[in-house]
Amino acid sequence: MVVIGVDPGISGALCVLTDSGVSRSWKTPFILVKDRYARPVLDLVSFTSILDFIEDLGNPDLVMVEASQIRMKTNSRKAVSGIWWYAGILDTALRVQNWKIEYVQPKQWQEKILHPFLKSEAAKASLPLEVVWPDGHDEWKETSIRYVQAVNPSILIPYGSAVKKPHEGAADAFCIAQFALNGEYHRDWIHKPTKASKIRRTKNAKV
């Protein structure tokens, strides 16, 4: 089985995993083009190189992409448009390959991958003493890095990266790929309308 985990965004990453133990990560292949405004575009050379490696393993059974999150600190119009711009570019490039794509919320893969780790002895040995349970975006990112350091540390340095330090996007992409490889997707996370949303729809229908 071949799966790909994707943390979209300018500082994100892609990670391919197989059930035979093959693993590799890459930074998201974006470059900034400066004309009137600086805008990100897909680096076709890098993206083609990624595709070539993956196709040598066989077509992926599943591409699992983290759904873009809008956080309170980045709720400006410019920030929101940037987040969705990166995600949209990558989504389009992946869909052209005719691969099966699913989206997952961060809390869903964190619950299945990081929660068990946080309760383990390995977490107690690697996480700072003051971290009882991650609180906020940055602490969850740090937990992802510590988890990957414990199970597959080489994946933290994206392929071809000149900077030899743990990459947050690579850590999250690995966790997302592990979530997909474990067959956790589509289990109890399909959206179910709440009672309030049903009431709103009923009122709108009457109008």
Q: Provide DSSP, the chain.
A: -EEEEEE-STT-EEEEEETTS-EEEEE--EEEEESSSEEEEE-HHHHHHHHHHHHHH-S-SEEEEEPP---GGG-SHHHHHHHHHHHHHHHHHHHTTT--EEEE-HHHHIIIIIHHHHTSHHHHHHS-TT-SS--SHHHHHHHHHHHHHHH-GGGGS-TT-S--S--HHHHHHHHHHHHHHTT-TTSS-S----HHHHHHHHHHHH-
Average pLDDT, integer, range 28-56: 87
Average pLDDT, integer, range 85-105: 88
Average pLDDT, integer, range 134-157: 88
Average pLDDT, integer, range 101-124: 86
pTM for this structure?
0.80
Question: Residue 189: which domain range?
Answer: 2-206
Band (5; pLDDT cuts 50, 70, 90): very high
* pLDDT value of residue 193: 44
The domain tally of the chain equals: 1
Q: For the domain that residue 169 is a member of, what is the CATH number? A: 3.30.420.10
Query: How many C-beta atoms surround the C-beta of residue 198 within 10 A?
Result: 10
* pLDDT value of residue 77: 55
